[in-house]
Structure 1
Amino acid sequence: ELAGASAQKLHINELIANPALIGDFELIGFPGGFSYGDDIAAGRILANRLRHKLMDQLLAAADRGVPMIGICNGFQVMVKLGLLPDPHAGTQTATLADNESGRFTTKWVNMTVPAETCCVWTKGLTELDLPIAHAEGRFVPQSDEALARWNDNGQIAIKYAADNNPNGSTADIAGVCDPSGLILGLMPHPERWIHITNHPHWQRKGEAFKSQTPAGLKMFQNVVEHVTASTPATA
């Protein structure tokens, strides 16, 4: 809402009971958390429910240009659902595996945005700090060919900075988008840096830092601006 949108929280059961609701949304978010206790694998059970109950509606939303975001567990869900990185592949083409450390990791991490990315969410960002909090965040592509295709398409949206990969993700990948740049999934938490005071070192930074728009808020502002610009004006 700080970015200029109105937010509505809906339980998955509400959407399954009335799938047509998805057609009313101009933005869709899959939040972080531990859906179904991360039993079997992180995000797997929720992904299976979505695949069998709501996949047609989600693909239709993607086709009409509805931006989507999956954060942490939401990213795990989107990847295991097959909504990212290739929404129309009809199968899962990547996964998020256990951290190489074998441990749950929570800390702030420095990241970069590739200059060639097509991602709408990260427009105007080149470097950012965001917090992570996960045990299964290691991005692994199905194949080297798939990774090369995503690179060529500009689908690598966010990377962990050099020598700062917290989980062993292939090619330091922290987030990916679909070919349109509108559907983003990432392990870091942009929603946890929407006020300057969210940053752990904000008091040590200079005035220039304190006057900037936090990177997390900037990401949401980017996509709200995109939706606003894409929505026809009413008489």
Structure 2
Amino acid sequence: MEKGQTKKLAELIKSSSHTVILTGAGMSTESGVPDFRSKEGWWKEIDPRTVASVEALEDNYPLFREFYSTRLKALQTVQPHEGHKIIAKWEKNGLVQCVATQNVDGLHQKAGSIAVKELHGSIRKIRCNQCGNEAAKEQFITGESCNACRGKLRPSVVLFGELLPQIAWQSAFQHIQKADLVIVIGTSLEVYPVSELPAMTNGKTVLINKDPVWTAHHFFLTIEGNAKEVLHAVDELV
């Protein structure tokens, strides 16, 4: 991370009238949330198709519930880091108009962000897969059925084989279309269709990521580094 790069990003933020931030797993790993594709990630030991799919929900519900219950319990002690709080502060100060995220952990909201579009849903919201009735997290963890129809409970996340939530997707898409600046943080941009979003703006695009990304050459500015450190450095200049 070079000081010149952070200064350039700070100037872009100050001059932008409509800024969108798009975050991925790398935003949450610094709070202790495992990602999915790194050597230490969730998918190192688990085939996602066996636990995070429509088929698992329907055909192997005990395994499905065990996987998501473990994730929910792990999130109980997780807190937003400084980077999350900086983004929330920028939004409060009118510097950010939309936060679109691939993460399902709710850390942006916990940090104070309001204009959050959860593109892959939320693990903290539990509903019935059959009738859509909302339920308490504890009901899912303890293996209870839906109070209304006795159907299977599940987190409101996008499983393999499901479509993205259209309201969140359309809202994020509209914000990105009119953005002067789109800042992508902590994602390898390998998951379709979210990977297409940065190309849908006529504004400047910036990538902040710990590891090199093969599409980095498409961005106006690329900063290699941890999300928390980069955002802290930029915040001091905004």
Q: TM-score, normalised by structure 2?
A: 0.31
Query: Larger radius of gyration, structure 1 or 2?
Result: 2
Normalized against structure 1, the TM-score is what?
0.31
Q: As a proportion of its length, which structure holds more helix?
A: 2
Larger relative contact order (C-alpha < 8 A, sep ≥ 6)?
Answer: 2
